[in-house]
Amino acid sequence: MNGRSGLAVMLAMLLVAPVAGAAELYVTNTYSGTISIIDTDRDEVVGTIPLGGGVPNRIVLTPDGRHAWVIHDKTRKLSIVDPVGRKVLRQVKIGEWPYNLAFSPDGRYAWVLDWGDVSRLLIYDIAKEAVEASIEVSTWPAHGIFSRDGRLFWVTSETAGNVAVVDADQTPRASTSVKTVTGVRIAPPQSRGLPRSRDMISFPSARMTLTMMPSG
The pLDDT tens digits along the chain (216 residues) read 444 334 444 444 444 444 444 688 899 998 889 999 999 888 899 999 999 877 898 999 999 989 999 999 878 889 999 998 999 999 999 989 999 999 999 999 999 999 888 888 999 999 999 998 888 887 788 889 898 888 888 888 887 777 888 888 765 555 555 444 333 334 433 333 333 333 223 333 334 444 444 444
CATH number of residue 183's parent domain: 2.130.10.10
pLDDT of residue 109: 94
This prediction has a pTM of: 0.72
Domain boundary among 42, 72, 93: 93
CB 126 within 8 A of CB 111: no
CB contact burial 182-196 (16+ within 10 A = b; e otherwise): eebebebeeeeeeee
CATH number of residue 31's parent domain: 2.40.10.480
Q: Same structural domain for residues 101 and 14?
A: no
Q: Same structural domain for residues 123 and 205?
A: yes
Q: Same structural domain for residues 124 and 207?
A: yes
Number of structural domains the chain divides into? 2
CB 114 within 8 A of CB 97: yes
Q: Same structural domain for residues 84 and 110?
A: no
Q: Same structural domain for residues 86 and 42?
A: yes
Q: Same structural domain for residues 137 and 171?
A: yes
Could you give the residue ranges of the DSSP H alpha helices within 153-193?
Answer: none
- Specify which residues 38 forms β-bridges with: 25, 45
Q: Same structural domain for residues 64 and 117?
A: no
Q: Same structural domain for residues 46 and 149?
A: no
pLDDT of residue 31: 87
pLDDT of residue 126: 94
**Longest Cα–Cα distance in the chain:** 50
pLDDT of residue 176: 53
Q: Same structural domain for residues 26 and 112?
A: no
Domain boundary among 75, 93, 111: 93
Q: Same structural domain for residues 108 and 179?
A: yes
The CA distance from 96 to 80, in Å, is 18
Specify the long-range contacts of residues 164-169, CB closer than 8 Å, at least 24 apart.
164/137, 164/138, 165/197, 166/121, 166/135, 166/137, 167/197, 168/104
Domain span at residue 192 reads: 96-216
The CA distance from 8 to 29, in Å, is 5
pLDDT of residue 17: 44
Q: Same structural domain for residues 171 and 191?
A: yes
**What sign for the dihedral angle of Cα 177, 178, 183, 187?**
negative
Domain boundary among 93, 120, 145: 93
Q: Same structural domain for residues 121 and 207?
A: yes
